[in-house]
Amino acid sequence: MSSDFTALRRRFPVLQRKTYLNSGSYCALAESVRAAINAYMDDRVLMGANWDVWVTKNEAVRAAMAEVLRVTPAEIAVTASASAGLNALASALDFTGRRNKIVVSDFEFPTNAQIWHAQEQRGARVVHARRAADGYIPAESFAGLIDEETLLVAVTYVCFRNGAKLDIPGIVRLARAHGARVLLDCYQAVGAVSVDVRALGVDFAVGGMLKYLLGTAGIGFLYVRAELLPQLIPANSGWWAQENIAAMDITANRPAASARRFEAGTPAVVNCYAAEAGLKIILEVGTDAIEARVRELSRRCMDGLEEIGWAAVTPARDDRRGPMVAIASRDAAGLFAHLMQQDIVTSFRDANIRATIHFYNSEDDIDTFVAAMKGERAAFQPGGGR
């Protein structure tokens, strides 16, 4: 396990040129990830196709992702995106009975609400847990919604708009009491926060490799708790989801016994190369060490913003925050552009600027950002920074 963060930082060249606080949108590229993509390109140039090696890459990603989530490889499907995993799972659920309600929250990334609303044509009913007056959604807000008719509670771990982290153990307790399953969208957390799906008690989880997992776009995962696999037969399928991929049997659908049954067609080979290399770094540093480092830096950012009189909208409590610090602005797009001119890379959603932090960020990165925000107060803070 390595936690010399100064040395680790050197592996990400963009950090020498930019104050990069944008991992919640797309991670900084590590040299080793770039080398992995180049290794694939070398195969293409030198051999044309190298399928014997390529097929092992999908399995390497599965094994590494299982290690990150602290589960078995048989519980992981390697998918093209978080959305692909959600759709495959939804296709295995039956909404025709009395238990047909899906509970989502106001903090969801669109895909984890839209896909469930899309199931309304198959009999699903979707209800939303609303935010409370303080902007947070406590577990109690789910209490009146989760009942004996609830099939699934599908919730984000960290909200992509404001960085708030939901009380997953509290939500899981409510779901369990009523026999409902829980799906965790951990895309804005996994890689920067330890996501121990067994300890959290969730049944399913989705995410992808382009943010805190240090890989690339076009590859994601679906976790399905082993005990549930036999009863879930996806209607979305394909030849790579079959028990025997080589069978080429066109007379039947014989899904794999493992979570591979939620996959579909030929894997995105180049993305597997990048994802494997990214996951390797996460496992080398260790998710507990990463979480502690990210918390320290996000706390510094929260405190710094408070000091300049422009407090974040992200919850102040450490247990209600992941790697994102979100700050409300009069003109988030304008502020984003101003920061970019100072080589500070952030992102924005709605009225919020988002500083998203990984272990490779430094105290200097945070201080540079806070100092720049101080300079932008008069022009961009709601109320004019007075």
Ligand X SMILES: Cc1ncc(COP(=O)(O)O)c(C=O)c1O
- Under the rule (CB under 6 A), what is the footprint of ligand X? 81-83, 109, 111-112, 156, 160, 185, 187-188, 208, 220
Tokens of 271: 């993305």
* HSE-up (13 A, CA, CB side) for residue 104: 18
Closest to 159 (Cα-Cα) out of 322, 318, 346: 322
Contact 103, 142 (CB under 8 A): yes
* Cα angle 204-206-209, degrees, rounded to a multiple of 5: 150
The counts of H helices and E strands in the chain are 12, 12
What is the nearest approach in angstroms of ligand X to the Cβ of residue 341?
A: 25
Of 357 and 372, nearer to ligand X (C-beta) is 357
What is the nearest approach in angstroms of ligand X to the Cβ of residue 79?
A: 8
Burial 365-382 (b: 16+ CB within 10 A, else e): bbebbbebbbebbeebbe
Of 304 and 323, nearer to ligand X (C-beta) is 323
What is the nearest approach in angstroms of ligand X to the Cβ of residue 104?
A: 12
- Listed in sequence order, the DSSP H helices in the chain are 5-9, 31-47, 51-69, 82-90, 111-118, 140-143, 168-177, 197-200, 269-285, 287-307, 332-341, 363-380
Of 13 and 265, nearer to ligand X (C-beta) is 265
What is the nearest approach in angstroms of ligand X to the Cβ of residue 277?
A: 19
Of 115 and 146, nearer to ligand X (C-beta) is 115
* HSE-up (13 A, CA, CB side) for residue 201: 15
Of 109 and 348, nearer to ligand X (C-beta) is 109
Q: What is the rounded CA–CA span in Å between residue 290 and residue 287?
A: 5
Of 73 and 220, nearer to ligand X (C-beta) is 220
Handedness of CA 249, 254, 255, 257 (dihedral sign): negative
What is the nearest approach in angstroms of ligand X to the Cβ of residue 160?
A: 4
What is the nearest approach in angstroms of ligand X to the Cβ of residue 159?
A: 8
What is the nearest approach in angstroms of ligand X to the Cβ of residue 347?
A: 10
Of 188 and 314, nearer to ligand X (C-beta) is 188
Of 99 and 211, nearer to ligand X (C-beta) is 211
In the sheet where 150-156 sits, what is the strand order? 76-79, 220-224, 204-208, 181-185, 150-156, 101-105, 125-129
Of 185 and 203, nearer to ligand X (C-beta) is 185
What is the nearest approach in angstroms of ligand X to the Cβ of residue 103?
A: 17
Contact 23, 356 (CB under 8 A): yes
* Cα angle 172-174-176, degrees, rounded to a multiple of 5: 65
What is the nearest approach in angstroms of ligand X to the Cβ of residue 373?
A: 23
